[in-house]
Every structure is written in C-alpha cells, then in structure tokens.
Structure 1
Amino acid sequence: MNKAMAILNDPFKNKGTAFTQEERERLGLTGVLPPRVKTIEEQAAETYALFETKTSNIEKRHFLMEVFNTNRTLFFYLMGQHITEFMPIVYDPVIAESIENYNERYQRPQDAVYLSVKHPERIKKSLANVSGDRDIRLIVVTDAQGILGIGDWGVDGVDIAVGKLMVYTAAAGINPAQVLPVSIDAGTDNPKLLDDPNYLGERHQRITGQEYFDFIDRFVDEVEKLYPKSLLHFEDFGRGTAARILDKYQDKILTFNDDIQGTGIIALAGVLGAMNISKEKLTDHTFLTFGAGTAGMGIAKMLYDELVRQGLTPEEAKKHFYLVDKQGLLFDDTEGLTEKQKPFTRQRSEFANADELTNLLAVVKAVHPTVMIGTSTQPGTFNEAVVKEMAAHTDRPVIFPLSNPTKLAEAKAADLLKWTNGRALVATGIPVADITYQGVTYQIGQANNALIYPGVGFGALAVQAKQLNDNMLAAAAHALSGLVDPDQPGAAVLPPVSKLAEFSQRVAQRVAQSAIDQGLTTMTDAKKAVADAKWEPKY
C-alpha cells in the first residue's frame, strides 16, 4: 500500500477532506482527495445528516461504526455534539443487538486483539501486532461469558470492549490511539453459537479451571511488560471468574472490574443522591439486593463499605443487608453460595417462617427493605404487590430496577411512581424520558456505569496511580452524588447523561486526588494532571 493510502486507511491519522493543502503536499496526498478543504464542523454536519436518514437503531450503529473505522477524530467530535443521542446507539442497549448479529454484520476487527485460551504462546505477538507503535494506556478485555442481560456470547462479545472504550474517550477524553480492546476466546457454552455455521469464534465448550486461570496470569504478565503504564479493565467475565481475577490483581496492578466495582459505585452514588433528596441517613436504611450475582454483590459490598466509613462496625453494617436470588433469601446454609455472597447471608433462626422466604414478596414482607436494588434480569419482578408492600413501611422507598436491556428490567419507572403515589426515588439501568405524574415532572436517573467508570479510570491514569482501591472508588461515588439539586420537585437521584463529559472530569479529579492523598502516585496536582491528560477531538 502506498503512503497516501496508508494514511487514509488509518483511522487515527485520517482527516478525510479536512487535510489542508500544506498537509496534502507534505504527506503525499496531492491529487488523492477532492480539492475542497472542509472543516471538522462541516464534516460533522454532513455526517449527522446522513446518520438521521437511517431508520433503525442497528443501522444507525452500523453507520457510526463506519465513521469510527474511518476517522476517529471526526467520530468523537460528532459524539461529543450528540452524546445523549449516541450513547444508547454505540453502547447500551443497542450494543446487545449488535453482539447478537456480530457474525452476520462483521465489518472489521476495529483494532481489537483476538486471543485464544488454547494458544497462550500467541499472546505477546498478538498484542504487539495490533498495538504497533501506539502508546497503550487503557485496555478493556472481555471473555464475554456474562454480558449483562444476554449472557455468554463468546468472541462476538468483543463489541462490548470496543463500545466501552468509545465511552471512555467520549466521556473522559482518553486518547483513542492509546486504547486497546481485547477478546479472550475461551470457547462458549451458548448452543446457538456452537450450532451457528457463521460463528467466528472457537467452536467448543468453555475452557475452565487451571488452564483458564493460567492463561489469564500469562495475559496479565504480558500486558504489564508491553504496556507498563496501562490500566487493565476487565469486562463481562462470568460469576465464577470475575471476582477471583479482581481479588488476585487488585492490589498488584492498576486494574478495574466494571461489573463489580463500576456497578457498585453507580448504585452507591444513586443511593447517596436519594439520601440528599429524602434528607435521611444512609445508616438508617435496610438494603435488599435482588439478584446476587457479580453486579448485585458488587453493589452490596460498596454500600457495606460506605456504612462502615459512616461509623458502623462491620457487624452492625452486615445486619442492614438481605440478598435474594433465584432460591429466595440467601441463608448461611443455602447450597452453592459464592465467596462474595457468604459474608452477607442471614441465619434461619432470625425468622419464624424461614422456609417460606423463597420469593421476593415473602422476603419484602418479612424484612421491610427501604432500599431495593434489582440486578436479576427477571422482568417485572418488582410488581405492584411487592412495591406497595415495601412502600407501606417507608416514606421514600428507594427502588432501582437496574437490569437491562429494557425487556429485562424489574419494573418500569412510571409504574413505580404510580404504585407509590410519587414517593419512590427511582434509578433505572436504561434511559427513561421525564415522567409527569400528578402535576410533578420526575426526572429519572440512569444508573448507567458510563456515568462513572470513564472518570474513575481516567483519574487513575492521569496521575499514574499504582492501583485503584476502594477509597478512590468511594471518592468517585461522592463526586457524582452532589451534582443534582435535591430540593427540585421530581429531582433525579443521578445527574443526566447529557452532562457526561462535564462530570467525568469532576469524578476524575476526585479519584486522582484520592490517589495523591493515599500516596499512590508521585504527582501532587490532581486538577492539572487531569487537564493535561485530556484529549480533544480536533485536527
């Protein structure tokens, strides 16, 4: 490929019609492009007009991916202008449909690295082949075993890593040339994929146990050697692997698991926001987590840690939590408990009717929760009977149906307001338009991890923190909770996605400051470090 074509085919360098005459001369592009030189503003306007002609969300995403694959700067300039509109298209919920159609709609590898657990010897070469001479600072890796809401999608789940990194750049301003999406193909237990002749991944059951964890160890080792200044973000790993990997590496390298930690932070931020509105103390509340998997346990742990920070002893704090999973309330003798569930289980002796606590309504009647958070992917489970029972025992019930996509949500926000006469403080896992009920317009906060993880990761990277610990995560949650006017009727418990870029900088500064305060970096000025590290989408 000649020099001119190499530049035009490199999305990190390509400006399309915006190359100036001087640049065209210098780069060997004279005569390669039409003569008119356009501004990025002009390019964005015409690209958005084309975007608007697409009739379905999946076609809109397909079009935006073509822009992304061609010209990264233009893509992020455009996304910055239309962040609220583009977020659900490039990420959740449309990304689920994209993953489900990955094999049929495959366009390009999108600068992702594809690794196979069967071939650990190829890790180093594969990473180097894709990253080339780029200074990689952020890696999002997935094995796609536990994609929220849709489960195991094997190599097709690479879209999650690509989409996550898009949000990091659009929200926080990490340079898109410094990021690397990685797919770890351990096989798949999804029969639909195993039977699909078009499936692009390894066609075998998931590799588990020692062989799998040995591969992860080698992968982490190679990443640390090749990219010593990078943050390693694990995404959508399964119940049996996510926490184990995080526990092993959290104190050793700069790493983050969004499903455990990000979900926990955003839920804590939402609950803190609810406390600002209700003027209540967090330590007076009783928490019910419905869905005790990776996300649910991340939320419980984050709330528990905050109760301890606010003065409760560990023993007192544990008494505030009830876990409900498919078996009902989890007791210390429930079979098949995970290591993360065990600290939060209850004893049967606490209840006269312990054997009857096998469904959500029975548990709500027994424990009278004041905060109920759903990560169950069981649609409609926060039904009228459950919600009215909860609301009968608290003035401002805090109810977060966080499962997504839309079809898997535990409840609709409008129903929660109706069933509680407008008293519920609601956050959802999906975008919800304003709701007018009995003359009050309610803004519904979206407990979207995108509100939090870009600022968290960027803040840690900006000061080159040695690790990302629980104090830094708590700082992020508190940064978010102070951004809404709590005295406004119908106020949301979380700020809107439209202000994503603005408050990602605030979160990043708080996280960076926490790292400085704890001696996890040699830098001393959080605000300057975050400002200096921010990339702007301009030519």
Structure 2
Amino acid sequence: MSENRKGFDILHDGSVNKSTGFTNKERDALGLRGLLPHAVSTQELQEKRMLASMRRKAYDIERYIFLSTLQDRNEKLFYQMVINNIEEIMPLIYTPTVGQACKEFSHIFRHSKGFYITPEDKGNIRNILDNWPEKDIRAIVVTDGQRILGLGDLGANGMGIPIGKLALYSACAGILPHQCLPVMLDVGTNNEEILNDILYLGYPHKRIEGDDYFELVEEFVMAVQDKYPRALIQFEDFLTPNAYALLNKYKERVLCFNDDIQGTAAVTLSGVYASTRITKKKFSDLKIMFLGAGSAATGIADLMVAAFEAEGLSNKEAREKLWFVDLNGLVVNGRTDLMPHNLPYAHDHESLNFLDAIDSIQPDVLIGATGAPGTFTKEVIEKMSAINERPVIFALSNPTSRAECTAEQAYEWSKGKAVFTSGSPFDPVDYHGQLFRPGQGNNAYIFPGIGLGAICCNASTINDPMFLTAARTLADLVEEEDIAHGTLYPPLNEIRNASLEIAVAVAEKAYEMGLARDERPQDLKKVIADYMYDPSY
C-alpha cells in the first residue's frame, strides 16, 4: 500500500480497503483515525455482518446488487465471503441470477467494472486500452452480448456475464482480481425492446455484421496481443456461427478458448466419465444423443470424439456414437438446413422426431442444450428409463428457468433410476426415502482451472488434449460418497482444490506438448498454489 495514499483515498479504493478491519496501528499509519468507528472487526465478524445484510434482502436480484456493491467497496471481504459460502453465493453472482442482472443491467447500473468497445472505436482500440489502469492483465472474458445464456440478444446488458465469470476466476481459481479484465464488444443489438429502452446504456444501433464485425474483433484481439501479451482471452456467449468462426480463427494463433463450446464440453464430458461409475458401462460403449445442435451441443460432441479416439476408436466410429435432434428432428444426411458444424454428425438414417429417435437409436446418455424449458417431457424420461437401467440425463440449459426438466421431474418420472445433472443448481430430492443430490454441470468446475494452468505456464494456445485432461482430472475428484447420491461432480466447496488440480494437470500437458512458454519449475503445484489469490486480511 503506497505511503502517500491516506485517509479517504484508502477507504474509497476497494482493492485495499478493509473498512473496520484496519487495526489501530494501520489507522494511525494511514490517516484513518476518526474516519472509522472505534471497534476493530475481524474479517470473520465482517463476513457475518455482510451475510446477515445480504440474507435480509427480499429478492435474489437485490442480493446480486448488494454483492456487486460490496465487491466495489471491499474486494477482499467480497471474495472471502464467496469462497466461504460458495454454494449460497455462486447462484447469486452467476447463474441463475446473472441472467436477470443482465436483462436489467442498464436499470441497476451503479459503477463501471469493465471495458467497452464500440464500432466508433475502430482504428483506435489499442490506444484506448491504455485507459485501463492495470498493466499486467492475465485473464480477459469478452462477449458481444448476442446470445446471453438462454436469453438471446441483450446487447451491452450482457456485460454482466464477463463480470460474473471473472469473479469466478478469482474466487474459484485464485486469479488475481487486478489481473482480470471484463470486455464488452458493444457492436449494437437487434433487440427492439432494448433499443427502445430510454435507460439502455449500450451502442443504440442495429448490430454490425460481416466484415465490419470481424474486423473489429480482429483489431481487439491484436490490440490485446500487443498490450497484454500474456493474457488469456475467453470468448463468452457469442451466437453459434460467430462463436465457431472466431474460435477456428484464433485458437491456433493466440491464447484463447470459447467457454460455451469447450468449457461446456469438458465439464459435460467429465460428468459422463463419472456417470459410468454408476451405470457400470464402459465409456467407449456409450451412445449419446443431444437435443439441440448449437455451439454448446456440438462443442461437447467434438470433445467427445477426441475422448472416444483416446479410447481407441476411429474418428468414424466415434462420430457414429453421437446423435443430434434439433427443431426439425434427427440430424441426418440429406437435410438442407444444417450448419457447417452439424454436418459431421449427420448420419445415414431415416428422418425421425425426438421420441421416435430415442426408440430407434436407444441412447445411454441424453444431453439437453436447447435453451427451451420442458423439452425433456415425462414421455421422454420414461422412454429413456425403459431402455436403460440407469438413464443418464443432462439438462444443461441456463438459467434454471430454461432447464429441459427439473431434478424432481427426472427422478419422479424415472422412478428414481435417473442419473441427473443440470446446468443450474437444483435442491436435493428425496424420492421415497432415497436422497439424490443432483450435480451441477457448471463450467465453473472447468474454466477457472484451465485458465489458471494456462496462465501459470504462459501457454501459447489451448488445445483439445488440455480440455480432455481437465475433464478426466475433474471426474477423478468425485468421491464414492458423491456417487452414492447420484452426484457426478465434487462438492462446490471443494472447487478451489479442484481448480488447482486441473491447473496442474493442464500445465503439465502444456509442457508435455511444447505449448508452455515459461520454463517448468521444479515444484509446479507449489508455484501455482502460491500464485493463487488469498483474500484474507
């Protein structure tokens, strides 16, 4: 803490402020005498006070605003609270509450937390990056707001997503908060309701498209390489065609990944790995069906191809185990409405609707990534239960209101047979005396650890073997007690340890593949653990 900063300058800087946590000695040294109440509070006592205040709020969106304000005011206390109460607070700072926060972003705006780029900044992005005060950025989460969760085009209101993701980077993996940068590529919105909102804070025009769009993204990515050469770029909530176009353009050029495609893929693959401990089936024997054929679903399938190949299957054999159903039915050869990323999964088969496809294909695992609530109907779950002793059901759409089915529905309709996982949290379910704890296939289990590992070894790129390593490492952390309750992921309160283990495994893979630019330390795990942010006073 700089000696020339005194009094209110200290109290108004959330990165250093401890409020009533400053000791008497610190108060004397920093010119804080008279500016704080007499009592010196421990961080534990402050946390109790803040938790009580948060819990008094009537609605989750009010709790979100409260936590956001605390983050601005006392960063260390905020992160200590999140880490110590992760199961309660993660749904408030990320899914599902972040969905509502994004929809209302311009209405609840209090304090700017990130960096905004509009088409008016074209040709000047590298210069305006100098306006950001931090010189050593390691993690950037960027969105253009076009496909926020299952909510669609929210324009600049989507900034809530990068802010929330980076809070999880710091809480779940210890990325230093000042090394994180949320970015909104505010290229307009086609959402008329938002454009007509007088309180809307974003670029009030229709979205730019085509060359204009990709040129702006290119300028941003190259500006980052110049300004922050060690930074990881995480692409988040882009519309499927753009998500794939940008990932394919940059994944071998810069340190980046797309969380919706690759992060979702790794956390889902990890859950499928873990499910085999319940179903007693070999992973290489599984047939997997997807409802939904967007970037999340095909991203999962692409990584699963690599996973099947690692088990000894050919590429053709791997793809034949993966089937898709979209709005127009089973994805088969001969359809003229398929996107390029769907074509590798179009099989020679008659066209069928969803229910008939289940009958015909007889999948072991059903994965929903539709954004359409209620699409796993009673009949769907009953069909899966008729062909599987333990049907594996992944209802991944976020937020909770968009889930393909609820945990209670899955267990009730399957008569307790389902192995259920969702993208957003569901409470435990007591089914006729048997307690199920549905796992949450939350990307927070994967992306913070991937990012931590890549950052700590200064990786040049991130590839599929690194995501496979992360998925296997996470699956191996699931304890037998979790499996006994139908849970396919470790407890959330173990997430920092999970992130550390994933980071070490990912960094090891980067060194093995020649992708790490820093020299390998003798004790890699200690170096990564020592880097991780500790918010305690």
**Normalization by structure 1: what TM-score?**
0.95
2:382 aligned with 1:388: yes
Aligned-residue offset at 1:67: 0.4
SS at match of 1:407: helix
Identity rate of aligned residues, in percent? Answer: 38
**Residues 274 and 475 of structure 2 are in contact (CA less than 8 Å); yes or no, is this contact kept in structure 1?**
yes
Alignment of 1:22-33 (within 5 A): 22-33=25-36
- 1:416 corresponds in structure 2 to 410
Deviation larger for 523-532 or 337-346: 523-532
Which residue type is aligned with residue 369 of structure 2? Answer: T
Q: How has the CA–CA distance of structure 1 residues 490 and 17 changed in structure 2, closer, same or farther, with 3 Å as cutoff?
A: closer
CA offset at residue 320 of structure 1?
A: 0.7
Shift of 1:178: 0.9
TM-superposed CA distance for 1:418, in Å, is 2.3
Q: Give the corresponding residue for 2:221.
A: 220
| Matched-pair contact (CA < 8 Å) for 2:107–2:199 | yes
CA distance 1:87–1:442, change in 2 (3 Å): same
Aligned to 1:527: 525
1:63 lines up with 2:66 in the alignment: yes
Q: Encode CA deviations 1:82-109: one digit per residue, 9 max, x unaligned.
A: 1110000011000111111111111011
| CA positional deviation for 1:3 | 5.1
- Aligned partners of 1:432, 1:30: CA distance in 2, in Å? 47
**Corresponding residue of 1:121:** 123
Encode CA deviations 1:156-193: one digit per residue, 9 max, x unaligned. 11010000001111111111111111111010011110
**Contact preservation (8 Å) 2:396, 2:404:** yes
Comparing 488-497 with 196-205, which one deviates more in the overlay? 488-497
1:450-469 equivalences under 5 Å are: 450-469=444-463
Tell me, in whole angstroms, the C-alpha distance in 2 between the residues paired with 1:341 and 1:81.
42
**1:400-451 deviation per Cα after TM superposition (whole angstroms, max 9, x unaligned):** 0111222211112222222222222111111112212233211211011111
Q: Does the aligned pair in 2 maintain the 1:276–1:486 contact within 8 Å?
A: no
Give SS of 1:236's match: coil
Instruction: State yes or no: 1:475 paired with 2:469.
Output: yes
Which shifted more, 294-303 or 115-124? 115-124
The worse-fitting range, judged by mean Cα deviation, of 521-530 and 268-277 is 521-530
The alignment covers a number of residue pairs equal to 530
Deviates more, 1:328-337 or 1:483-492: 483-492
1:506 pairs, out of 490, 501, 504, with 501
Q: 4+ residue stretches of structure 1 with deviation over 4 A? A: none
* Higher mean displacement: 221-230 or 9-18: 9-18
Instruction: Indicate if the aligned counterparts of 1:429 and 1:446 stay in contact, CA closer than 8 A.
Output: yes
Could you say what secondary structure the match of 1:118 adopts? helix
AA of the residue aligned to 1:512: A
Code of the aligned partner of 1:117: P
Match of 1:489 in 2: 484
- Report the Cα distance in structure 1 between the residues aligned to 2:56 and 2:412, rounded to whole angstroms: 37
Query: In structure 2, the residue corresponding to 1:141 is in which secondary structure?
Result: strand
SS in 1 for 2:117: strand
Q: Which residue in 1 is equivalent to 2:391?
A: 397
Does the CA-based 8 Å contact 1:402-1:427 persist in structure 2? yes
Q: Cα distance, 1:532 vs. partner?
A: 2.2
User: 2: distance between equivalents of 1:513 and 1:475?
Assistant: 10
- More displaced, 370-379 or 335-344? 335-344
* CA-CA distance at 1:265 after TM superposition: 0.5
Is it true that 1:536 corresponds to 2:537 in the alignment? no
- Measured in 1, the distance between the counterparts of 2:144 and 2:167 equals 18
> What does residue range 77-476 of structure 1 map to in structure 2 within 5 Å?
77-110=80-113, 112-130=114-132, 132-347=133-348, 350-351=349-350, 354=351, 357=352, 359-476=353-470
Deviation at 1:491, TM superposition (A): 3.0
> Does structure 2 retain, via aligned residues, the 8 Å contact 1:104–1:198?
yes
1:40 to 29, 40, 43: 43
Equivalent residue letter for 2:490? P
Distance in 1 separating the partners of 2:507 and 2:124: 35
C-alpha contact (below 8 Å) 1:145/1:188 kept by paired residues: yes
> Match of 1:491, SS?
coil
Aligned to 1:12: 15
- Larger deviation, residues 156-165 vs 509-518: 509-518
In the alignment, the residues of structure 2 paired with residue 83 and residue 527 of structure 1 have an alpha-carbon distance, to the nearest angstrom, of 23
Contact 1:260/1:295 (CA < 8 Å) preserved in 2? yes
Does the aligned pair in 1 maintain the 2:155–2:186 contact within 8 Å?
Answer: yes
Give the Cα separation in 2 of the matches to 1:244 and 1:333: 24
What's the CA shift for 1:486? 4.2
Distance of 2:316 and 2:36 partners within structure 1: 69
| Mapped partners of 1:511, 1:456: distance in 2 | 6
Q: Distance in 1 between matches of 2:347 and 2:480?
A: 34
**What does the per-residue CA deviation read over 1:494-514, in whole Å, with 9 as the maximum and x for residues that have no partner?**
222232222122211211221
> What letter matches 1:498 in structure 2?
N
Q: CA deviation at 1:377?
A: 1.4
1: distance between equivalents of 2:491 and 2:21?
Answer: 33
The aligned amino acid for 1:429 is G
Gaps of 5+ in 1: none
Residue 34 of structure 1 aligns to a residue whose secondary structure is coil
426-435 vs 121-130, which deviates more?
121-130
SS at match of 1:391: helix
Q: 1:428 and 1:44 mapped to 2: Cα distance?
A: 30
Q: Is the 8 A contact 1:516 1:526 kept in 2?
A: no
**How far apart are the structure 2 equivalents of 1:310 and 1:154?**
42
Where 1:240 maps in the other structure, the secondary structure is helix
Partner Cα distance (1:517, 1:173) in 2: 24
> Taking structure 1 as reference, are residues 336 and 204 closer, same or farther at Cα in structure 2, changes over 3 Å only?
farther
Aligned alpha-carbon RMSD (Å) = 1.8
CA distance in 1, matches of 2:29, 2:219: 43
Task: Tell which deviates more after alignment, 218-227 or 8-17.
Answer: 8-17
2:16, 2:335 → 1: CA distance?
56
1:251 is paired with a residue of what secondary structure? Answer: coil
Secondary structure in 2 matching 1:256: strand
Deviation, 1:219, is 0.4
Matching residue's letter, 1:308: E
